[in-house]
Amino acid sequence: MQQRKYFGTDGVRGEVGKPPITPEFVLKLGWAVGRVLAQEGGSRALIGKDTRISGYMFESVLEAGLSAAGVDTQLLGPMPTPAIAYLTQTLHASAGIVISASHNPFYDNGIKIFGADGAKLPDEVELAIEAEMERPMHTVGSRDLGKAERVQDAAGRYIEFCKSTVPFRLSLKGMKVVVDCAHGACYHVAPNVFDELGAEVIAIGTDPDGFNINDRCGALYPEALQHRVQVEGADLGIALDGDGDRVLMVDHKGELVDGDELLFIIAQARRADGQLNGAVVGTVMSNLGLEEALHRQGIALQRAKVGDRYVLELMRTGGWTLGGETSGHIICLDRLTTGDGIIAALQVLTALQRSKKSLHELKRGVVKHPQVLVNVRVPEGVDVLMHPAVEKAVNSVELELNGQGRVLLRASGTEPLLRVMVEGRDGRQVKALAAQLAEEVKQVLAAADLPL
């Protein structure tokens, strides 16, 4: 497979004003996307965004680039990333373009693209777009320029879709829920979904100003939600991230419920209803406690590389419909083509209603193992994973764990870091072994006279 120049595992992302996240680049990217769409017979693309201030600028230049290529645009305004995937399908667009840096701070932004089927673009299409980026930009004739219009009812359409993913008779009446929208793209959507299903909703993180997205709120910083749930005496809390594709929850005691525990709750409920289609897909970072809990239910856990893109690929390969990450990316493939925080939360609430149990009770089905992650800075292009000293150190740690834990070394996909993870039953042992292994990697780097 040819190496991609611009697209990473989740589109193009970076700091605004620094290549490639500049108006000039995004203008040409819009044109390149339009060129590829036009060559394949496409004539219309959707553009949605989160609430960060740079979204206005990038929305305008994307629209201009698409128009220059002869492609029409429909502007959705601030909308969750999964909503754009859904609307791309239902509005029969050729592509859906998302302007978002997800859980990153406001000064970052990014572009990711869904195909007409609502799924992320295959590699060959991304490579075709990158090939167009290398060509001189030119504009179609004035009669062929693309037009733009704003979709007025995008939020309403998506709210109705979210509600349709749970049983028609499901009622959340009598349930008090705190929803933290991270001042992001869900601010005008998520509270309405849970309210219209009957819950008493206390909404926080719903006052975006362009700068406060993900700022000490939402799924990255659930402390405010944990406090508010207890102050309000709520049944639970729901924390979304800036673009709405990630969710964590908080039980009535204020305890955090992460993606592993949410995945187990959904899987257990689906198995009881005869709706679980085979295995559940996690990642190499999914806690061993999740694997053991699923095993007790007769459910296999398949592990993908870290990243919802890889989770989705393994789900499609195996024909499975449920997967996710510890971070809260939960994919219900029988509901939508991508991870969706609102839909995942609704699946959990459905499980609570049917079981007549609290979130606190259901999450106890997973007994988490101590897991320690240590980051070691490694110069770009340097691979220490196959070094004999590192391999020896890994083998030594595995022997000490004696089959009661896991060791994982992996390169970060976004930073020049090696992530050293050790997991086991004894927290003190795990911490010591992770530090020992990280130190061995540093010594290898130092011996090679490489900067740490």
Tell me if 159 is assigned to some domain: no
DSSP category for residue 414: S
Place of tokens 């405010």: 224
Tell me which of 304, 338, 363 is where a domain ends: 363
Give CA–CA dist 131/127, Å, rounded.
6
Query: Could you tell me if 422 and 372 are in contact, meaning their C-beta atoms sit under 8 angstroms apart?
Result: yes
Task: Enumerate the β-bridge partners of residue 47.
Answer: 75, 97
Residue 264 shares a structural domain with residue 148: no
Residue 51 vs residues 246, 267, 366: alpha-carbon distances, Å: 16, 33, 35
Residue 385 shares a structural domain with residue 356: no
Residue 357 shares a structural domain with residue 375: no
Tell me phi and psi for residue 444, to 5 degrees: -65, -45
Query: DSSP 3-state assignment of 302?
Result: strand
Residue 213 shares a structural domain with residue 274: yes
Kindly give the confidence (pLDDT) of every residue in the chain, 452 residues in length, as a single tens digit, with 9 standing for 90 and above.
567 889 987 899 999 999 999 999 999 999 999 999 999 888 899 999 999 999 999 999 999 999 999 999 999 999 999 999 999 999 999 999 999 999 999 999 999 999 999 998 988 999 999 999 999 999 999 999 999 999 999 999 999 999 999 999 899 999 999 999 999 999 999 999 999 999 999 999 999 999 999 999 999 999 999 999 999 999 999 999 999 999 999 999 999 999 999 999 999 999 999 999 899 999 999 999 999 999 999 999 999 999 888 999 999 999 999 999 999 999 999 999 999 999 999 999 999 999 999 999 999 999 999 999 999 998 877 888 889 999 999 999 999 999 999 999 998 876 788 999 999 999 999 999 999 999 999 998 888 765 54
Residue 349 shares a structural domain with residue 377: no
Q: What pLDDT was estimated at residue 267?
A: 98
Q: Give ∠ CA 47-52-58 in degrees, rounded to 5.
A: 45
Residue 289 shares a structural domain with residue 419: no
pTM of the model: 0.93
Q: What is the CATH number of the domain that holds 386?
A: 3.30.310.50
Tell me if 110 is assigned to some domain: yes
Q: What pLDDT was estimated at residue 451?
A: 55
Task: Enumerate the β-bridge partners of residue 237.
Answer: 178, 250
Tell me if 340 is assigned to some domain: yes
Give CA–CA dist 186/262, Å, rounded.
20
Residue 195 shares a structural domain with residue 147: no
Give CA–CA dist 344/25, Å, rounded.
35
Q: Pairing relation of β-strands 95-99 and 44-49?
A: parallel
Q: What is the CATH number of the domain that holds 113?
A: 3.40.120.10
Query: Could you tell me if 276 and 344 are in contact, meaning their C-beta atoms sit under 8 angstroms apart?
Result: no
Q: What pLDDT was estimated at residue 337?
A: 95
Q: How many domains does the chain have?
A: 3
Tell me if 7 is assigned to some domain: no
Tell me if 115 is assigned to some domain: yes
Residue 83 shares a structural domain with residue 114: yes
Tell me which of 295, 330, 363 is where a domain ends: 363
Task: Enumerate the β-bridge partners of residue 46.
Answer: 74, 96
Query: Could you tell me if 345 and 263 are in contact, meaning their C-beta atoms sit under 8 angstroms apart?
Result: no
- Catalytic sites, residue numbers: 102
Residue 209 shares a structural domain with residue 255: yes
Residue 267 shares a structural domain with residue 347: yes
Tell me if 320 is assigned to some domain: yes
Q: What pLDDT was estimated at residue 2?
A: 67
Residue 88 shares a structural domain with residue 214: no
Strand intervals (E) in 117-206: 148-150, 176-180, 200-204
| Burial of 24 (C-beta count, 10 Å sphere; 0-12/13-18/19+) | exposed
Give CA–CA dist 338/133, Å, rounded.
27
Tell me if 78 is assigned to some domain: yes
Residue 311 vs residues 179, 302, 323: alpha-carbon distances, Å: 26, 9, 7
Tell me which of 363, 380, 401 is where a domain ends: 363
Residue 120 shares a structural domain with residue 58: yes
The whole domain housing 424 covers 371-447
Task: Enumerate the β-bridge partners of residue 75.
Answer: 47, 150
Sign of CA pseudo-dihedral 247, 265, 363, 409: negative
Tell me if 249 is assigned to some domain: yes
